[in-house]
């Protein structure tokens, strides 16, 4: 993330959607919308100097822990599908390998 001392909507737009959503959810703000909407909402939250909600942050950590546990079925670590950049199959080709 950027240095938060001097933020602009333009700087928020350079963040990934996931990072903006985490930023907003930790401040109890809605996380639905497109990049422009979320960037504007994040900028407003920054301007209002909204504090991080401890319960929201704890909930985010719990969700991350559960997600990582799902990537470790039976002790075997599988790659995070959101971080894969190669090796993808289209639905038509991959459907035959679905359980």
Six-digit token pair at 41? 């909402």
Give the tokens for residue 36. Answer: 């422009």
87 vs 71, 73, 78, CA distance in Å?
Answer: 17, 20, 13
Q: What pTM, to 2 d.p., does this model score?
A: 0.61
Nearest alpha carbon to residue 22 among 65, 52, 50, 49:
52
Q: What is the pLDDT of residue 60?
A: 80
- Phi-psi region at 77: left, alpha or beta (left = phi > 0; alpha = psi -120 to 50): beta
Residue 59 and residue 93 in contact, taking contact as beta carbons nearer than 8 Å: no
pLDDT at 53: 86
Of 1-5, 17-21, 27-31, 72-76, the one with minimum mean pLDDT is 1-5
Does residue 78 register a pLDDT over 90? no
Mean pLDDT of 13-25: 91
């Amino acid at each position: 993330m950027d240095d938060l001392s001097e933020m602009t909507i333009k700087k928020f737009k350079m963040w990934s959607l996931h990072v903006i959503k985490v930023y907003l959810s930790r401040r109890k703000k809605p996380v639905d919308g497109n990049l422009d909407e979320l960037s504007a909402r994040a900028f407003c939250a920054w301007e209002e100097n909204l504090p991080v909600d401890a319960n929201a942050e704890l909930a985010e950590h719990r969700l991350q822990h559960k997600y990582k546990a799902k990537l470790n079925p039976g002790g075997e670590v599988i790659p995070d599908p959101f971080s894969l950049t190669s090796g993808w199959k289209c639905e038509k080709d991959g459907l035959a390998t679905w359980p």
